[in-house]
Amino acid sequence: MSQKIFSHLDSENNPSMVDVSEKAITKRTATARSIVVLNEEIMANFKEGDIQTKKGAVFQTAIIAGTMGAKKTSDLIPLCHPLGLDSCKFAIEVSGNEVIIDCTCSLTAKTGVEMEALTGASIAALTVYDMCKAFSHDIIIRETKLTKKTGGKSDFIRE
């Protein structure tokens, strides 16, 4: 069994962008999830599929912000490749006091889009926080995780 190594270190242990020049171009997708837990005071404003605030519709704004974040991933995370996304889609579901944000990014390229999906979901969650904090700071961004990746060397699905 070969020993795993960190891919963002060169032979002298210096930070380095991964060389993808020899990789095959394939269709790649990734889905990430962030969960935001809101209190009852905030959830009392959930009507007709969104939370309405003085700043506007929370989920609609979160989708726009998350999309912008996904597109700027390489500006935020130093060793990420700049990618031209083919698609960035969001699904937002409310379950009790939880807002479940799924971000799915896809493209046809030599490298995957996991970081873009994770960034999109994270920025959308932070936007929910920002827009709801006037009601209460009792807001928890409970988790952000990769739930699915396809294309490239290996696929991944988290149950």
User: Average pLDDT for consecutive 10-residue bins of the chain (159 residues)?
Assistant: 67 78 92 97 92 92 98 95 96 97 97 96 98 94 96 86
Query: Which pLDDT value is given to residue 8?
Result: 66
What is the number of alpha carbons within 13 Å of residue 64 lying toward its C-beta?
5
Q: Are 146 and 55 in contact (CB under 8 A)?
A: no
Helix, strand, or coil (residue 149): strand
The candidate with the shortest Cα–Cα distance to 86, out of 104, 63, 73, is 104
List Cα–Cα distances, 79 to 63, 82, 106, in angstroms.
25, 9, 19
Burial profile 122-149: b = 16 or more Cβ within 10 angstroms, e = fewer: bbbbbbbbebbeebeeebebeebebbbb
- State pTM to two decimals: 0.91
Catalytic residue among 19, 50, 75, 130: 130
As a whole number of angstroms, the longest Cα–Cα distance in the chain is 57
Angle at 98 between CA 61 and CA 149, to 5 degrees: 75
19 is catalytic: no
pLDDT at position 1, please?
Answer: 55
- Amino acid identity, position 78: P
